[in-house]
Amino acid sequence: KYTGELLVMAGDADVLVPMPHCEEIAATNEKAELIIYEGADHNFNVMTDDKSVSEDMVETTAQWLAEHL
């Protein structure tokens, strides 16, 4: 069982990985941080005209990595 720092990011409109799976993954680790993007699909809306979700996801991931590595 992994017990280190963990970032779990998910879109609530993801049809490939259901939200309960993401919540379950995060719940198994007390150091997990779960971030849910409202309206985001599996690709964090990168294939849409509005890139704000995917850009935020990349920035958030970079910040998290800088803080936890």
Confidence of residue 1 (pLDDT cuts 50, 70, 90): confident
pLDDT at site 3: 92
Q: Give 3-54 pLDDT, tens digit per residue.
A: 999 999 999 999 999 999 999 999 999 999 999 999 999 999 999 999 999 9
Please give the biggest Cα pair distance in the chain.
39
**In 28-53, which positions are buried (b, 16+ CB within 10 angstroms) versus exposed (e)?**
ebeebebbebeebbeebbeeeeeeeb
pLDDT at site 17: 96
Task: Look up residue 16 and give its amino acid.
Answer: L
- Per the model's pLDDT, the better-predicted residue between 1 and 15 turns out to be 15
